[in-house]
Structure 1
Amino acid sequence: MSEHSSHLVLLLGAGGISPDAALRAAAKVTSEVSVVWYEGNASGAAVEGLRRQWAGSFTGEWLAVADHLTIPDVLVDLHGRRPVQGVATFGEPLIVVQAEAQQRLGLPGNPPETVRTAQSKLAQRRRLRDAGVEKVRFHEIADEADIPVAVAAVGFPAVLKPVHGAASFLVSKVHDEAELRERLREALEAYRSSPLFDPEALFVLEQLLVGSPWYEETGFGDYVSVESLVEDGRVVHVGVTDKLPLHGFVETGDVVPTSLPADRRQEVLDHAGRIIEAMGIRWGATHLELKLTPDGPACIELNARLGGPVGHLLRAASGADIEADIIRLALGRSPEGNYQGRRYALYRSVPPPPVAVTLVGQTPREELLERFPELVFCKTRFAPGAELRPEQPYNVLTFLVTGEDVTSCLATAERVTAAYRADFVSPADGSPVPFSASSH
Structure 2
Amino acid sequence: MSAAGTHLVLLLGAGGVSPASALAAARKVTSEVSVVWYDGGTPATAVAQLRADWGETFDGEWLTTDRHLDIPDLLADLHRRRPVHGVATFGEPLIVVQAEAQARLGLPGNPPEAVRTAQSKLAQRRRLREAGIERIPFREITGPADVPAAAAEVGFPAVLKPVHGAASFLVTKVHSADELLEKLHEALAAYRTSPLFDPEPSFVVERLLVGDEWYEEDGFGNYVSVESLVEDGRITHVAVTDKLPLDAFVEIGHVMPTSLPADRHRQVLDQAGRIIEALGIRWGATHVELKLTPDGPACIELNARLGGPIGHLLRATTGCDIEADIMRLALGRAAEGDYQATRFALYRAVPPPSQAVTLVRQTAREQLLADFPELAFCKTRFTPGTELHPDRPYSLLTFMVTGDDVKSCLATAERVVDAYEAELVSSADGSVVKFTPSAP
- TM-score normalised to the size of structure 2? 0.98
Question: In the alignment, which residue of structure 2 is the partner of 1:412?
Answer: 412
Contact 1:191 1:197 in 2 (8 A): no
Question: After superposition, where does 1:291-370 map in structure 2 within 5 Å?
Answer: 291-370=291-370
Counterparts of 1:293 and 1:197 in 2: how far apart (Å)? 33
Question: After superposition, where does 1:124-163 map in structure 2 within 5 Å?
Answer: 124-163=124-163
SS at match of 1:369: helix
Question: In the alignment, which residue of structure 1 is the partner of 2:215?
Answer: 215
Question: In the alignment, which residue of structure 1 is the partner of 2:88?
Answer: 88
Report deviation, 1:197: 5.9
SS at match of 1:312: helix
User: 1:339–1:439: structure 2 CA closer, same or farther, 3 Å change rule?
Assistant: closer
Report deviation, 1:439: 5.3
Report deviation, 1:68: 1.3
Moved more, 8-17 or 253-262: 8-17
Counterparts of 2:32 and 2:48 in 1: how far apart (Å)? 19
Q: What one-letter code is carried by the residue in structure 1 that aligns with 2:111? A: P
Question: In the alignment, which residue of structure 2 is the partner of 1:187?
Answer: 187
Question: After superposition, where does 1:168-317 map in structure 2 within 5 Å?
Answer: 168-196=168-196, 198-317=198-317
Q: What one-letter code is carried by the residue in structure 2 that aligns with 1:59? A: D
Q: What one-letter code is carried by the residue in structure 2 that aligns with 1:198? A: D
Question: In the alignment, which residue of structure 2 is the partner of 1:73?
Answer: 73
Moved more, 110-119 or 407-416: 110-119
Structure 1: gaps of 5 or more residues: none
- TM-score normalised to the size of structure 1? 0.98
Q: What one-letter code is carried by the residue in structure 2 that aligns with 1:97? A: V
Counterparts of 1:422 and 1:259 in 2: how far apart (Å)? 32
SS at match of 2:265: helix
Contact 1:161 1:170 in 2 (8 A): yes
Report deviation, 1:195: 2.3
Q: What one-letter code is carried by the residue in structure 2 that aligns with 1:147? A: V
Counterparts of 1:354 and 1:58 in 2: how far apart (Å)? 43
Question: In the alignment, which residue of structure 1 is the partner of 2:424?
Answer: 424
Report deviation, 1:407: 0.1
Counterparts of 1:267 and 1:31 in 2: how far apart (Å)? 41
The reply to whether residue 12 of structure 1 matches residue 12 of structure 2 is yes
Q: Structure 1 vs Structure 2: percent identity of aligned residues?
A: 73
SS at match of 1:135: coil
Counterparts of 1:193 and 1:63 in 2: how far apart (Å)? 27
Report deviation, 1:200: 1.3
Counterparts of 2:43 and 2:197 in 1: how far apart (Å)? 23
Counterparts of 2:195 and 2:281 in 1: how far apart (Å)? 28
Q: What one-letter code is carried by the residue in structure 2 that aligns with 1:27? A: R
Report deviation, 1:4: 11
Counterparts of 1:88 and 1:309 in 2: how far apart (Å)? 17
Counterparts of 1:87 and 1:294 in 2: how far apart (Å)? 41
Q: Deviations over 1:326-350 (max 9, x none)?
A: 0000001111001110000000001
Q: What one-letter code is carried by the residue in structure 1 that aligns with 2:293? A: T
Contact 1:226 1:289 in 2 (8 A): yes
Q: Deviations over 1:14-70 (max 9, x none)?
A: 111111111111110111111111112122221111111111111111111121111
Contact 2:4 2:331 in 1 (8 A): no
Report deviation, 1:172: 1.4
SS at match of 2:30: coil
SS at match of 1:56: helix
Q: What one-letter code is carried by the residue in structure 1 that aligns with 2:305? A: R
Q: What one-letter code is carried by the residue in structure 1 that aligns with 2:78? A: L
Counterparts of 1:391 and 1:20 in 2: how far apart (Å)? 27
The reply to whether residue 398 of structure 1 matches residue 365 of structure 2 is no
Counterparts of 1:133 and 1:425 in 2: how far apart (Å)? 47
Contact 2:5 2:85 in 1 (8 A): no
User: 1:111–1:27: structure 2 CA closer, same or farther, 3 Å change rule?
Assistant: same
Structure 2: gaps of 5 or more residues: none
SS at match of 1:239: strand
Contact 1:166 1:197 in 2 (8 A): no
Contact 2:4 2:85 in 1 (8 A): no
Report deviation, 1:80: 0.9
Report deviation, 1:118: 0.8
Counterparts of 1:306 and 1:339 in 2: how far apart (Å)? 15
Q: What one-letter code is carried by the residue in structure 1 that aligns with 2:108? A: P
Counterparts of 2:309 and 2:27 in 1: how far apart (Å)? 20
Counterparts of 2:190 and 2:75 in 1: how far apart (Å)? 36
Number of equivalenced pairs: 439
Counterparts of 1:25 and 1:46 in 2: how far apart (Å)? 19
Report deviation, 1:192: 2.2
- Moved segments of 4+, more than 3 Å: none
SS at match of 1:45: helix
Counterparts of 2:57 and 2:167 in 1: how far apart (Å)? 34
